[in-house]
Copies of this chain bind each other. A is one copy, B any other.
Amino acid sequence: MKKIRMGVIGLGKRGTSVMKDVILGFDDVDVVALCDSYEDRVDAANAIVKEQRRHDAEIRTTDYREVLKDTTLDAVYVATAWETHIVIAIAAMRAGIPVAMEVGGACDLRECNELVAAYEETGTPIMLMENCCFGADELMATAMVRDGVFGEIVHCHGAYGHDLREEITTGGVKRHYRLRHYSRRNCENYPTHELGPIARLLNINRGNRMVSLTSVASKAAGIKAYLDKHNYEMDESLRGVEFAQGDIVTTIIKCAGGQTITLTLDTTLPRFYGREFTVRGTEGFYEADTGVVFLDGMEEGFDTLEMYKKYLGNNEQYKKDYMPDMWLNITEEQRIKGHGGIDYFEFKAFFECLKENKPMPIDVYDAAAWMCITCLSEASCAMGGQPMAIPDFTNGAWVGRKPEDVMPLGKKS
């Protein structure tokens, strides 16, 4: 069977590392086109291709339209700046080239609507590359939910808790798009890592949907304090720059099924990494960051710290029954292939669906629904927490669509 001919558009830190460690890790996939606005990034990526595959990429360009002219491409991976994911994905679909679209938030509802329209008109496969949907904890928790362990689910919580102060403040010298977004916008700018797995768990677009949200941002103090503390040594030109992005943005989403989802954007204050993935049901809860599974009837107490000491990491005992075998049997090679395995499983799913012409596990409706949270949050923050209606991108189809996970999940026999 012939190799998948892949183009990579966007060769920053993420695009380059995924190309190198994940995509080129698949023997039946080749990288034949490379594109970035910066020519030196294209050259550097080409050097990696040449080292690993002993050939140059056929197309090397700073204009993504040059890539999309090659109709022999089997797919493109889009990992550009946030604001161009959708416009490039639409152009690719219209050129008939299947798309693996990296995550990010939408800048306006219009692009979400156009994304869905482009898919519906062309039928070109597209997958939102939300790797956390393939996370070990998230899949285990979803399997437990499917088995009824937590009873009826009424609330989920997640966060993007990641101290990005260095990445943002070196964004000028490192040409990172975060810098311009953080200085000018104020919103839940990166919802999908936490929302993706939660939305799938709650069957969003598949019998349920998100109907409204409200978002409130704290003041923006973290980046300024960080720059002051380091006396602007990372980028002298940032002196006097104002940052619009609040340090903590809290978003509450209400679902048609009555569940609430809370999201926290938390990227400009000191903290250790955490996605705070939490599932609350009538029979118990799961909190991934502390690894606590608590079920109705387990010992309670008023000394909360003692409770955490008792239950910390007790999710371990559920792995055998509920964690997908691919995670229990993960090889060292798979781990190395990107983010501890999560990117490997994600791209494996993409390539399999592409080859077998099967529906993508994370589809265009997921993409539009999850990415629109950013622009709706931006509007809500600007209006003091005004609730915003979340569009139904399925145009009513959600009421009849069957629940489906990114892979079969439940209690293993």
Greatest chain B CB density within 10 A among A250, A258, A313 is at A250
Q: State the oligomeric state as a number of copies.
A: 2
Decide if the interface of chain A is mainly helix, strand, loop or mixed: loop
Complex interface: chain B residues within 8 A of A308 (CB):
289-291, 308, 312
Report the minimum CB–CB distance from A55 to chain B (whole Å). Answer: 34
Cα separation A152 to B229 with both chains bound (whole Å): 13
Contact B289 A254 (CB under 8 A): no
Contact B260 A250, beta carbon cutoff 8 Å: yes
A254 with B305, Cβ < 8 A, contacts A219-B154, A282-B269 known = no
Which B residues touch A225, using CB under 8 A? 151-152, 282-283
Q: Which of A15-42 contact B (CB under 8 A)?
A: none
Measured as residues with beta carbon below 8 angstroms from the partner, the interface class of chain A is 35 or more
Query: Is the pair B280, A300 in contact by a Cβ cutoff of 8 Å?
Result: no
- Distance A290 CA – B152 CA, assembled complex (angstroms): 27
Distance A302 CA – B254 CA, assembled complex (angstroms): 30
Is A318 engaged at the interface, CB distance under 8 Å to the other chain?
no
CB distance from A286 to the nearest CB of B (A): 11
Q: A266 contacts which chain B residues (CB < 8 A)?
A: 280
Would A386 and B387 be within 8 Å (CB), given that A216-B254, A252-B250 are in contact? yes
Q: Which residues of B contact A222 (CB under 8 A)?
A: 154, 282
Instruction: Assess the A272–B252 pair: CB atoms within 8 A.
Output: no
Interface contact B154-A257, CB-CB below 8 Å: no
Confirm or deny: A72 has a beta carbon within 8 angstroms of a beta carbon on chain B: no
In the complex the two chains form, what is the Cα distance from A236 to B163 in whole Å? 52
Q: Which of A226, A258, A272 has the most CB of B within 10 A?
A: A272
A14 nearest CB across to chain B (Å): 15
Q: What are 9 contact pairs spanning A and B, CB under 8 A?
A: A163-B300, A214-B216, A248-B280, A271-B294, A272-B311, A273-B300, A290-B305, A305-B312, A386-B387
Other A-B pairs, 19, CB within 8 Å; known A218-B258, A250-B262, A289-B308: A152-B221, A152-B225, A155-B248, A216-B252, A218-B260, A222-B282, A250-B252, A250-B260, A270-B284, A270-B297, A270-B298, A288-B304, A290-B290, A290-B308, A291-B308, A308-B312, A309-B313, A384-B387, A385-B387
9 cross-chain pairs, A with B, having the tightest CB-CB distances, nearest first? A219-B258, A225-B282, A214-B385, A270-B296, A155-B248, A218-B260, A385-B387, A274-B304, A216-B252
